[in-house]
Amino acid sequence: MLPEIRANVTLDCKGLACPMPIVRTKKAIDQLKAGHVIEVQATDKGSLADMQGWAKNTGHHYLGTVEEGNLLKHYIRKSKLSETKEEKQHPYTICHEELATKMTGEGKITLIDVREPAEYAFNRIKGAISIPLGELEDRIKELNPDDEIFVICRTGSRSDLACQLLTEKGFKKVKNVETGMTGWTGPTEQDNSK
């Protein structure tokens, strides 16, 4: 079953004109915890391009937009400062090319996507299993410690933490996918959305 797009907070900007959706989004995201997802509901058609530009300039992560009639639902994930700076610690990594080769090969591989459900819903590698980082410890029984497991997120930071956790729990063949979904040019899929 595909996960629904889950947001931690919903912000109503319906009927508001530029620059109000952006101003409200900025205020709301200031109150949000890093890693949480906000759903911004807007009817301003310009907000589609504005949200993307805003996220690019503020460093937050624009996940995507769902259109329902005149209503635009924008999803943005609040980044944390450390996300781009954190040092990687898990020693075993795999690059995109190797991963793509593995996936078309004969052996069974397990690819875990540890991003939030909303991120997974908009764009993921086909066959990836969604286990958000926060749920990994509880759902670890779903995984076999002897399998070869690849872990992916958006940039390689959260997946690095996930790799460390799995190793701690006795998993032996865990590899972090370098740079995460960023720069992945292989096939992807998504839930129904714009």
Partner 1 sequence: MSTKVAIIASNGGLFDAYKVFNIATASAATDAEVAIFFTFEGLNLIHKQAHHSLPLPAGAEHFAEGFKKANIPSIPQLVEMAQELGVKIIACQMTMDVMNLKKEDFIDGIEVGGAVTFLDFAKDANVSLTF
35: left (phi over 0), alpha (psi -120 to 50) or beta: left
Which one of 5, 42, 54, 93 is in contact with partner 1 (CB under 8 A)? 54
Respond yes or no on whether the N-terminal peptide bond of residue 91 is cis (omega within 30° of 0): no
* Whether 153 is catalytic: no
Amino acid identity, residue 65?
A: T
Interface with partner 1 in residues 56-95 (CB under 8 A): 57-58
Choose one: 9-17, 80-88, 106-114, 140-148; the region binding partner 1 (CB under 8 A).
9-17
Closest distance to partner 1 from the beta carbon of 60 (Å): 10
CA–CA separation, 148 vs 103, rounded Å? 12
Which of residues 12 and 146 has its CB atom nearest to partner 1 in the complex?
12
Q: Are 50 and 43 in contact (CB under 8 A)?
A: no
Residue numbers 24-53 binding partner 1 by CB under 8 A: 25-27, 50, 53
Half-sphere exposure (Cβ direction) of 79: Cα atoms closer than 13 Å: 19
Residues that are catalytic: 18
The residues of the shown chain that bind partner 1, judged by CB under 8 A, are 15-20, 22-23, 25-27, 50, 53-54, 57-58
